[in-house]
Amino acid sequence: MYYWENDSTATINIRTRILITIMSHEEIHAQAHNDTVAMRQTWLHVHVPKAGGSTLRQLMNRNFGDDYYNSNSLLETKQYTKEDAGEIVRCHPWVACMSDHKLSLDLPYDLPEADIYALSYVRDPVDRFISRYFYHRHFEEVNCIAQKMSFRDFANAELVEQYVHPQTNSQIHFLTNGKSSTELDVINQALDTGKAFLFPIERFDESCICMERLFPTVFSDLSYVLANVSKKDAEISENERKFAHRYLKDDIPVWELANRFLDNTLERAFKTEDDRASALAEFKDRCARRFHNFHPPRPKGQPVPDAATEQSQASPVNKAEQMPQSKAV
């Protein structure tokens, strides 16, 4: 049985009409196994705060268009359970990709209604903590102690006195949905499904050419300009970095795991070093010619536009750009 659903709410503001097929879990599962129904693919961007997610949200928006949902939360310490994530995917079949701080890698990868894939990035924990400090110093919409404290005082409050929720400064805690701040079992289990991808943000370009090569119809172009870069108004000394590292070192293993996973994925995506180098060079060239994440790269040989020209070229805003971007990054 079919019906048309009119969805024009301000929250979604993407689809106006969606054709939904109503079947039971058992019917979908049986038909999928009998190859009579093609499983729809749903990508979940597990947005670890201050790990490059704002840029990736814009790229997902551009690549998935109307089928992308940019989910925002005013309370980033609450995360969806595996069952919650499955219910979201099941109840919203139009969503081909969703970004959210409330997701983890503990997902229902065997959901009968959809083929769920996860994409997430982590960062060197000390660099991430420093970036978070500077981000909150200049983000007036959120009341944060960083606005009134030196870096050392901020680190003491959050890392020593535990002023914040554990997942704020533990990427492992975030990715495992609070199951652990030191153990990688949940993360490894997700990677073992072959449907989860965990990369280090420091090697973003390499991860992008992997996804373009492995999923060319899904990620046709991931070239980018950086978004939401934290402004630094002070220098962080080596002693301050060492102080932060003392309390963040438990997060190092997940960052190292992400680097190993990327190395393995590169080997899977590219058969030769020359092929990889060529793809990376071409990708960097596309990035160099791009001045806006929602407009195509400039043709080769065209000069870089000045600020005024760039603004005028970027003025026709499409509905994808009108979607609210997450503040809590």
**Average pLDDT value for residue range 51-66:** 92
Interval 293-314: pLDDT, tens: 888 888 887 776 654 455 444 4
DSSP 51: S
| Closest by Cα among 143, 91, 97, 116 to 39 | 116
Say which residue the tokens 């630094």 belong to.
Answer: 232
Tokens of 315: 């003025």
Q: How many CA atoms lie within 13 A of 118 on its CB side?
A: 30
What is Dmax (Cα atoms) for the chain?
65
Per residue in 201-215, pLDDT (tens digit) is 999 999 999 999 999
pLDDT digits (tens, 9 = 90+) for 189-241: 999 999 999 999 999 999 999 999 999 999 999 999 987 665 676 789 999 99
Domains of the chain listed by start with CATH number: 40-299+314-322 (3.40.50.300)
**Which of helix, strand or coil describes residue 66?**
helix
Check whether 40 has a pLDDT greater than 60.
Answer: yes
**Is pLDDT of 6 > 90?**
no
pLDDT surpassing 50 at residue 318: no
Q: What is the mean pLDDT of residues 164-179?
A: 89
Task: Region of 13 please: left (phi>0), alpha (psi -120 to 50) or beta.
Answer: left
Sign of CA dihedral 157, 51, 125, 181: positive
Rounded Cα gap, residues 82 and 97, in angstroms: 17
Q: Which two tokens stand for residue 102?
A: 């409330």
From the list 183, 205, 309, the residue with the least C-alpha distance to 251 is 183
- The SS3 of residue 97 is strand
Q: Are 53 and 329 in contact (CB under 8 A)?
A: yes
CA distances (Å), origin 7, targets 10, 11, 14, 20, 172: 9, 10, 8, 12, 36
Quote the CA–CA distance of 123 and 108 in Å, as a whole number.
25
